[in-house]
């Protein structure tokens, strides 16, 4: 999907505001041993899967509300994981590139949970993308999904109002634009050398990686 101009979302609707969690509170309620600046650094650190010694490194710029991203992860990524990541050929990183305010909030959610829950939560949200994206109240529906990952209502509210985290994700998006001229999702950077734009089935994706030894 093509990018659009992105602004930080306004404060959540009234049911998500009266929580006593200030906008500068740094995910204090999220279950994590870190706090303060350490916790923000953790939330914005790379999210990778696969061997550190893999010869091919793929970084995907994706948006949580992008239908093409959901299709890639629901249909292509399982084969990429089984045939390339699990075999030690590819190390895969997911980089946030939210296309709208709802996507930004969803990215904040998946970044705020403990790192061990990141990939499972991304997988669930993309698999159920139509359920929460098309809901009458998508933020409320996103909260229901968050509850399945063990995020309480207060924790969810704190994440949604965490301006440093939201701004950090926007900065990561801007870096993708500056470094790689990313203009649509999904986009994949291979070994800091090749940019692949758009959704691909497994055969197309593997063929693109073949020049790097896949």
Domain ranges of the chain: 43-212
pTM for this prediction: 0.85
- H helical segments located in 44-197: 67-71, 77-80, 101-112, 118-127, 129-133, 138-148, 153-160, 163-180
Q: Find out whether 172 and 39 touch, Cβ atoms under 8 Å.
A: no
What pLDDT, on the 0 to 100 scale, is given for residue 214?
74
How far apart, in Å, are the Cα atoms of 6 and each of 50, 57, 169? 31, 28, 11
| pLDDT of the residue at 28 | 35
The answer to whether residues 67 and 1 touch, using CB atoms and an 8 Å cutoff, is yes
Is 210 buried (19+), middle (13-18) or exposed (0-12) by CB count in 10 A?
Answer: exposed
Predicted pLDDT of residue 39: 75
Mean per-residue pLDDT pooled into runs of 10, the chain (214 residues): 60 31 33 58 95 98 98 98 98 98 98 95 98 98 95 94 95 97 97 96 96 84
> Could you tell me which residues come within 8 angstroms of residue 21 by beta carbon, excluding any fewer than 6 positions away?
28, 29, 154, 157, 158, 161
pLDDT on residue 1:
67
Q: Which pLDDT belongs to residue 6?
A: 64
Q: Is the dihedral of CA 9, 15, 20, 26 positive or negative?
A: negative
- The pLDDT value given to residue 4: 58
Top-level CATH class of 43-212? alpha beta
């Amino acid at each position: 999907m093509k990018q659009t101009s992105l602004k930080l979302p306004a404060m959540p609707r009234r049911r998500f505001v009266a929580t006593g969690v200030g906008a500068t509170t740094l995910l204090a309620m999220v279950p994590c041993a870190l706090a303060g600046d350490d916790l923000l650094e953790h939330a914005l650190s790379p999210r990778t899967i696969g061997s550190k010694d893999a010869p091919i490194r793929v970084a995907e710029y994706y948006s949580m509300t992008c239908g093409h991203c959901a299709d890639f992860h629901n249909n292509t990524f399982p084969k990429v994981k089984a045939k390339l990541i699990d075999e030690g050929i590819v190390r895969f990183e997911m980089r946030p590139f939210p296309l709208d305010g709802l996507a930004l909030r969803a990215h904040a959610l998946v970044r705020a949970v403990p790192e061990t829950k990141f990939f499972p939560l991304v997988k669930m949200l993309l698999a159920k993308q139509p359920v929460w994206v098309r809901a009458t109240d998508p933020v409320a529906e996103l909260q229901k999904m968050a509850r399945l990952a063990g995020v309480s209502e207060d924790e969810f509210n704190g994440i949604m109002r965490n301006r440093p985290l939201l701004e950090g994700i926007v900065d990561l998006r801007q870096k993708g634009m500056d470094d790689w001229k990313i203009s649509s999702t999904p986009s994949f950077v291979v070994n800091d050398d090749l940019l692949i734009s758009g959704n691909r089935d497994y055969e197309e994706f593997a063929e693109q990686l073949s020049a790097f030894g896949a």
